[in-house]
A and B are shown apart, each in its own frame.
Chain A
């Protein structure tokens, strides 16, 4: 009866309906994340800079292009594992991998990098040539490279770049710089020295053509051809990747070390729900149990519980947390434990006074006269009276826990292995995102914390009529 009526009451009110819909959204996203993300996402991806090396740093979301006249370069990651073309020579075979992109931005890319993974060879070291072909059909050999040969005692097949892929930041490569300098002189007729190129970067020249003394961005289809010359039929190449660095990225942009904020923020959903629900459920269980014991059984137990809650209520939480973080390291479970340890007394004090009042009701005395045991009286008569209130408290505690965790993370006390919205906020704040104006780094996690808290508050408000027995009796 209780469960059904509570849900019914909840859906009767506007705030209850909106809150329930929001809650379902939160649950849906969380289920998706839990199903698709690795559990050690924090350690393996989020905290690993190598993963984010090819990402643009502090790039705003792509859709910000819609807001400005100047079209900024979009970050592109192009992958190839099958050659576009295979040229057979007499003693060798050349795998050609061609990356093409229609470049329409009003500014050059921020970087070009090339990654090669998984090369196997038997006789001779394979040779790589990277050619750059522009829309005006001008082209240049940007970079050449020979895969290092066998070391002393190494036996065929020789494997390279399986563990750590070879990553070449072409835009900073010496040989590329001098190749561009030659290209500029011979094909574009513009004299630039290598020192200047090193300073200003080669990309501006690579992606533009001179026009009345200025370089103007050349739009159109660019191609990068990677030719790998192999000397044995058993030789193979794994995968290649070309990154054209852009100044915008993804749905939510990136932070200053290139992390895709959308990925981190999505991961924050289940974590926030976990913190909110686990903390509130356990706090409510402990608080309600202690309150009922304290109120119903009284005596020394009551005194003890009340003193302990007085003490806990009056100890400032923050120093304790800092202290515990120091001892146990920054651990989400320690944080949750401390939040529970310090939140139950509030509920206990209220539960105790409710139980004291219910205990004096005549129906409790009636049950005693009937011979009901104390346990039965608590379970049958006392707890059901408090249940709606306990439920509301539980819902109110959830956003409090989420906010507390966010606040702690913001102070740098968060668990580094589990990214949360609070931590994203904190890293943004620490990197000066607020001062520099990296709003995409600050606003989404902030709004989501508020949204999640609001969801719970709306549900709690929607439950108000079910919880307040006086209101319900009037119906």
Chain B
């Protein structure tokens, strides 16, 4: 029992269960999943579907944070990726041509990789603090995304493109399948090879790992490229779901949700220890919270405040200094009692 409570995923799982139970009180049919027209329907499916971009971004963010870094540019990369794909498709003679859509997707992903390489270059090769390095792309990236879309919202009408974000395969949303496969591959790569261990050692103590003969710069670089790719795919899912690209608002403030998901999942923001499953669970918790706020009827404007308080509380709970002070006070109270 103690082992269960102590488990890293215990508290996020409890949060999720509490939220789900709370929702069933407000709408009894909340947990019902029905099969209609060969698709699964229901609030649970909606939560999973809407959580896919965030889960991907959080996955990339987890690896970056594990190297003791942070990537603030994920929202901008999402916007650029969606804008590139939509621009390419809108110029096609036949927007429904599968080949053309594939080229658009490949282009968008290639560009996200390049942006990830750029972030990695600034952090690993030049040695700029991650927060500043990615701040550059966060701001300039929004400009680039608007440059691509010409300041307009590009709308496309392409059924192959729409499959990515809004389609179904085997009654399950395609976006959920994409994310599940991607997460599974990443988890296997990280946990069944030395990659995860090396990333954790770089984040835990860069000097010690360098002295141990680990090429820190290489793993930091890989982390940012991976985060770029994740954000790129997330951008495609997001823009495909709405069949349009908005350079200004796509992925706006998603870096907050991603950081929140990572923290909820039990990854320390100071680097060194990470949990992919935790971050994915964190992303689902956040989306469930968003939907709960809709169902319960709390004004949506208070969402940001609530999330901020959760971030602050979790940061303090993670801080060793805070824990030490708290523990000392408690043991002192026990001694006097």
A and B form one complex: no
Residue ranges of B at the interface with A (Cβ–Cβ < 8 Å):
none
